[in-house]
Homo-oligomer: A and B are copies of this chain.
Amino acid sequence: MQESRLDIPQILSRLPLFQELAREQIAALEPACRERRLAKGGMLFQKGDPAKGFFVVVFGQIKLAFPSSQGNEKVVEVLGARQSFGEAVMFMDRPYPVFAEALADSLLMHIGSAPVFALLETDPLFARRMLAGLSTRLHSLVQDVETYSLRSSAQRVVGYLLQHCPESESGESAFDISLPTSKQVIASRLNLTPETLSRIFHDLAANGLIGVSGKQITINDVKRLREFDL
């Protein structure tokens, strides 16, 4: 949880959004960047806070969630290194509709809105990337709505596992995946209680489809898993 000085231009230029920006365009962004360190459990912002820029995860892990009256909460997204969030809210200037909390010690970069708007004025390619980014996010939210609405809890879990399979693993052999965060958080992300998630893992394991050992999930039978997923 330390690290002296950051090479902001390098961090920025490695982000998909900012790739292909000229050196001086990156430089223009730099003064609007602020680093933000958070210990595990730290709050980045609350639902309702005003937004005047967006965030990029340099390292660590951040969860976005809705608070709820009865202490329980609904996790909307879990973000890791290289991922960004808050762009949409910046374009509308509205308060954040979710809160953001660190799931691990994290380093974030906050990019103020002013130079982003300036870039938009002068660089159509940048605008295109921004549009593509928002579109992708919109698309995956629509997918989420489909998933929540049309699929059973077990199907949601299987879908989650399948999404997290190392690409191209359609072969015969078993392989492992490591859950990126606690089962509690994953359960909430899938709109389940931890109890239900635990039972589903148990059942899938009992049927030989997967093996569970802490955060290590062994996928024994991708094919039957996919069938399960209908």
Contacts and interface: CB of A to CB of B under 8 A. Distances in A.
Contacts of A89: 135, 139
A174 interface: no
A176 B122 CA distance: 49
Nearest to A125: B121
A148 interface: yes
Given A127-B127, A135-B134, A74 B150 contact: yes
A32 B169 CA distance: 42
With most chain B CB atoms within 10 A of its CB, the pick from A91, A121, A139 is A91
A134 B88 contact: yes
**Taking the full assembly, how many copies of this chain does it contain?**
2
Interface residues of A, number: 40
Chain A interface, >50% SS class: helix
Contact of A121 (B74, B97, B124, B141): B124
Interface string A134-177: 11111101111110111000000000000000000000000000
Contacts of A148: 145, 148-149
A131 B133 CA distance: 10
B144 A98 contact: no
Contact of A132 (B66, B92, B230): B92
A229 to B, nearest CB: 12
A128 B87 CA distance: 13
A136 B128 CA distance: 17
Given A131-B127, A134-B131, A141 B142 contact: yes
Nearest to A69: B230
A17 to B, nearest CB: 13
Contacts of A88: 134-135, 138-139
B124 A134 contact: no
15 contacts: A66-B150, A74-B145, A76-B142, A87-B135, A88-B135, A88-B138, A91-B128, A91-B135, A92-B139, A97-B142, A120-B128, A120-B131, A134-B134, A137-B138, A144-B145
